[in-house]
A and B are shown apart, each in its own frame.
Chain A
Amino acid sequence: MQIGMSVNGAAQDHDVEPRTLLVQYLREACGLTGTKIGCDTSSCGACTVLVDGESVKSCTMLAAQADGAAITTIEGLADGEQWHPVQTAFHENHGLQCGYCTAGMVLAAVSLLDEIPNPSEADVRLGLEGNLCRCTGYHNIVKSVLAAAETMRASK
């Protein structure tokens, strides 16, 4: 079937099998491999992308369901050379080690901060419960998200 969507602001148009998952579509049809496949059972959150601005696990959505939507992946988050404040905060606060969960963590955090601009530490921990990290632990990830929230509030 023919589907089209905006991915990071660029129009994508491909003929896919109906069973194509959004994560496969992004990685294989669009060539955007920043979105990772972790558990593949909607548990780990590594495949999190934004669909019309909201975090979604792209391993548990058909590409066909995203037909016509606006998708943001980690490749599309920066504004040119200027990182998104959440990306900067992960960098500055050592919010990653191996980096496998990071794309999903960052996009889940962007969606969370859109819904809760002034989160408590508990809000961040609960808001990221759908994203698993197996190396840094969560301490610096939570610190990163809280730092990003502060930067983003200050720039408004």
Chain B
Amino acid sequence: MIPAAFDYVRAGSSAEAISLIGEHGEDAKFLAGGMSLLPLMKLRLATPTVLVDVGRVRDLSYVRDAGDHLAIGALTRHRDLETSDLLAQECGVLRAVAAQVGDNQVRHRGTIGGSVAHGDPASDLPAALLALDATFVLQGPGGTRSVAATDFFQGFLETALAPDELLTEIQVRKSGGAGFAYEKFNRRAQDWAIVGAVAARVNGGTHVALVNMGSVPLRARAVETALAQGASPTDAAREAAVGTEPPSDLNASPEYRTHLVQVLVRRALEAIAT
């Protein structure tokens, strides 16, 4: 399968990328690793007329200690996250979740920014970033703005990004090297999660986020509230499906996902309780 024809331009910097996307209008798309966009283009589900390749903007690939938080360049590859010593110490959950994205080949090309900008509720990293109270830095023609993860994911594959904005940095809380779990359930190797549950101790509390339980990645607020009120992992996990709208697809019905999410959240909470 070959994508529909498009023009290809390459940006050397984020400023050049934004100027190029402005020049080419609303049917232009940024291309990073291409792990989400290229499959969609091959299926002709996406038919951009111009691709602005930002894959060589090297200064957007980093994991830095920024004092009270970690700053991660949008073009940092999953491979670089899963091997980052800084993440191992300061944000083990992100490192562990990145290691479960796709397969080795996908992790060699895919980027954290690409995953976030794609905004797929079945992806692993958006839920982890939601659990970490991430902030996304968006650069546009008029400057930069910061958007909280809770406001960023707006609908199925819809985000707060304007067509001429580039996600440049992801900022996350430091959550340490331990006290987290990611329960990802699928039936085939390398597949997306049928349901996933991220639990992490952050800032003295327990944050829980869900993969593939609605049109956007979700925080399991009812679980967090129950835990804060002293509920056991088993009791708190019973709240896991509250406020979710799980999808129906070939893999699972909403009822099945509603059951599964409670099991996975319980397992994740039990893992970090010990």
Distance A1 CA – B9 CA, assembled complex (angstroms): 10
Which residues 23-48 of B sit at the A interface, judged by CB distance below 8 A? Answer: 31, 34-35, 38-39, 42
> Given A42-B39, A60-B34, do A55 and B6 touch, yes or no (CB 8 Å)?
no
B104:A19 contact, CB within 8 angstroms: no
Minimum C-beta distance from A106 to chain B (A): 14
Interface string of B124-150 (1 = CB under 8 A from A): 000000000000000000000000000
Minimum C-beta distance from B189 to chain A (A): 4
Assess whether A121 is interfacial by the CB under 8 Å rule.
no
Distance A143 CA – B193 CA, assembled complex (angstroms): 29
Chain B residue with the shortest CB-CB distance to A104: B105
B190:A130 contact, CB within 8 angstroms: yes
Binds B, one of A61-69, A79-87, A91-99, A148-156: A61-69
A42:B106 contact, CB within 8 angstroms: yes
> Given A54-B108, A62-B34, do A45 and B103 touch, yes or no (CB 8 Å)?
yes
Distance A108 CA – B39 CA, assembled complex (angstroms): 20
Distance A60 CA – B35 CA, assembled complex (angstroms): 7
A108:B42 contact, CB within 8 angstroms: no
Distance A105 CA – B109 CA, assembled complex (angstroms): 18
B42:A55 contact, CB within 8 angstroms: no
Assess whether A111 is interfacial by the CB under 8 Å rule.
yes
* CB neighbours of B1 from chain A (8 A): 40-41
**Candidates A24, A61, A129; contact of B190 at CB < 8 Å:** A129
Interface of A is mostly: mixed
Interface string of A1-44 (1 = CB under 8 A from B): 10000000000000001111100100000000000000011110
Assess whether A112 is interfacial by the CB under 8 Å rule.
yes
> Given A42-B39, A112-B104, do A19 and B189 touch, yes or no (CB 8 Å)?
no
* CB neighbours of A76 from chain B (8 A): none
> Given A48-B105, A108-B104, do A129 and B39 touch, yes or no (CB 8 Å)?
no
Distance A111 CA – B105 CA, assembled complex (angstroms): 9
> Given A60-B39, A65-B34, do A18 and B51 touch, yes or no (CB 8 Å)?
yes
B38:A60 contact, CB within 8 angstroms: yes
> Given A56-B109, A130-B190, do A61 and B38 touch, yes or no (CB 8 Å)?
yes
B34:A45 contact, CB within 8 angstroms: no
**Candidates B35, B42, B51; contact of A40 at CB < 8 Å:** B42
B104:A111 contact, CB within 8 angstroms: yes
- Shortest 6 CB-CB contacts between residues of A and residues of B: A130-B103, A18-B8, A129-B189, A54-B108, A57-B105, A19-B3
18 A-B pairs with CB atoms under 8 Å apart are A1-B8, A17-B5, A18-B8, A40-B42, A42-B105, A45-B103, A48-B105, A55-B104, A56-B109, A60-B34, A60-B109, A61-B34, A61-B109, A62-B8, A112-B104, A127-B104, A130-B102, A130-B104
